[in-house]
Structure 1
Amino acid sequence: MFTLSTTARKSLAIASIAALSVSAVACNRGESSDGADGGSVTLALSTQTNPFFVELRDGAQAKADELGIDLDIQDASDDAATQADQLRNAETSGADVVIVNPTDSDAVGSAVQSLNNADIPVIAVDRSSNSGEVASFVASDNVAGGKQAADALAKAIGEEGEILVLQG
């Protein structure tokens, strides 16, 4: 079985999002995908207190800078109402593409539908929307990640011992 390290998975996710964004901007604006004509992408994150989303933000910004794309980064601070307002602002400000990491898959639905009605492609990251249409969904396989973590733990303790599982 082929497995990727956490860093490799994060890098792949960032590269995928950047590539999807550039393609979506190009398709939406009818321009080349080399980024030369710029474009505007809104990256709406649920939070920037999680190291994964900080890395996602930084990687997306670096790629946007490289490609000449205007990246508008929004932080909802885990508040669904704030995120809905941010997505409405992305729509009215003329974003070519919206990348969203929903704070709540149900709550983001009406904003995604509104973006769909405005012909603005939506790319979901880590969580999707339960309504509306997303052009693409980029997420890790948490079940496979859990299995990898369990395998590493088993190896680290010589495959015997007691384990406490915490949920929450």
Structure 2
Amino acid sequence: MEKPVISNRSTRHAVALLAAAVLSLVAAACSGGDAASSGSNNDKIAIAAVLPNTSDPFWATISCGAEAKADELGAELTTYNSTSVDANTIASNFQAAQLSSPDGILVSPFNNNQFIGQYQSLMKKGVPIVTQTPTEPTSEYKAVFSSTDTAGLVQEVVDVIPDGAGTAVFLGGAPGIPPLEKRTQPFVDALLDARTDLAPLPTEYSGFDINKATTMVSALILAHPDLKVIIAADGPDGLGAAAAIRQAGKTGEIALIAFDAVPGEVDALREGTISALIAQNPTEIGARSIEVLVAYLESHRDDAAVTATAAAAIDNRVLTAGNVDDPDSEPYLYKTDC
């Protein structure tokens, strides 16, 4: 067989090709180095947040607290929030969050056990879940929520209720919401124990509708001239009750103790229509939720199953016209945006 002839030209061409190949390898190595560096830069802890009803300043403030803490800790936070209380919308958002394959998830459905099966599955895969609505049985890594120990706050507000026998009414928002009931009912029971001269009227529910709460309380004021105190479980009921008291000219005659601290409630507190607010600390709730997720993920990046830990209860605070503008009260004031 005839041997191939290698000409000088072919030799020069081969050398050129070899040089090009070497340059390509160097470029690839450099590119690989850049990619690795880029991967390192993008190797942040990825967290998804699924919060309901962020049209409510309470949930909006939790989201703000979470976003600020994620920025501080260098975590990537993607929100899948809903402006409604619709369970199907929350479920759709939670599904979208899971599809993004985050390292950890902050999620708070109104029905505490709505996603219990998904929590258990994700936890087995090494994805920690933090929620504000503890499951029964416990199936999340940690619940970070407002303390339900509100009975002890009664002594801070009992003096705002006018003296003498009369009636009292609790505006419960909506029935069948465990986090709401567990936080408000102990306070109501303790207040009635402290003022045995007050006869409780049947609990009223507005469905978190300010206009309905206003109409409801206006009717109660007319039907019960001896009404001494109204306890409102939430912002909309607090705002509706304040409007009804104002319209009836009963400011100072009927004590209104409301939970939460949405902007309108804080205004009514300053003017004296609301006697006291039992405020949660949504800023701290959002921040602490991100903190515990990041702390876990920084030391557990091996996809090992996540074990549940003890819940963290964040204290409530009594706000009055005298302390509402103190710097220490600022985290308890709910925001409409960040």
Under TM normalisation by the shorter chain, which class is it? 0.5 to 0.7
Secondary structure, counterpart of 1:56 in structure 2: helix
The AA in structure 1 aligned to 2:185 is D
**Could you say if the C-alpha distance between residues 57 and 48 of structure 1 is closer, same or farther in structure 2, counting changes exceeding 3 Å?**
farther
Render the CA deviation track for 1:69-115: whole Å, top value 9, x for unaligned: 43332221222232112211332213111122232776555224136
Match in the other structure for 2:148: 10
Residue 91 of structure 1 corresponds to 221
Residue aligning to 2:298 = 158
Rate the CA distance shift 1:56–1:90 in 2: closer, same or farther, 3 A.
Answer: farther
User: 1:78 is paired with a residue of what secondary structure?
Assistant: coil
Q: Indicate the residue corresponding to 1:120 in structure 2.
A: 254
Aligned-CA RMSD value: 3.1
**8 Å Cα contact 1:98-1:120 kept in structure 2:** yes
For the Cα contact (< 8 Å) 1:21–1:97, is it kept in 2? Answer: no
CA shift in 2, pair 1:126/1:77, >3 Å: same
Task: Give TM-score, length-normalised by structure 2.
Answer: 0.37
Which one has the largest radius of gyration? 2
| Aligned residue pair count | 145
Q: Counterpart of 1:41 in 2: which secondary structure?
A: strand
Match of 2:235 among 63, 82, 102: 102
- What TM-score does the superposition give when structure 1 sets the normalisation length? 0.66
Change (3 A) 1:151 1:157: same
Output the amino acid matched with 2:284. Answer: A
Does 1:47 pair with 2:177?
Answer: no
Q: 1:61 to 1:124 in 2, by over 3 A?
A: closer
| Structure 2 unpaired stretches of 5+ | 1-143, 302-338
SS in 1 for 2:168: strand
Structure 1 residues 137 and 115: CA distance shift in structure 2, 3 A? farther
* Distance of aligned partners of 1:63 and 1:107 in 2 relative to their CA distance in 1, 3 Å threshold: closer
Residues 1:15 and 1:90: Cα distance change in structure 2 (over 3 Å):
farther
Q: Which letter maps to 1:62?
A: D
The answer as to 2:198 corresponding to 1:62 is no
User: Which residue type is aligned with residue 173 of structure 2?
Assistant: S
Distance 1:146-1:46 versus aligned 2 partners, 3 A rule: same
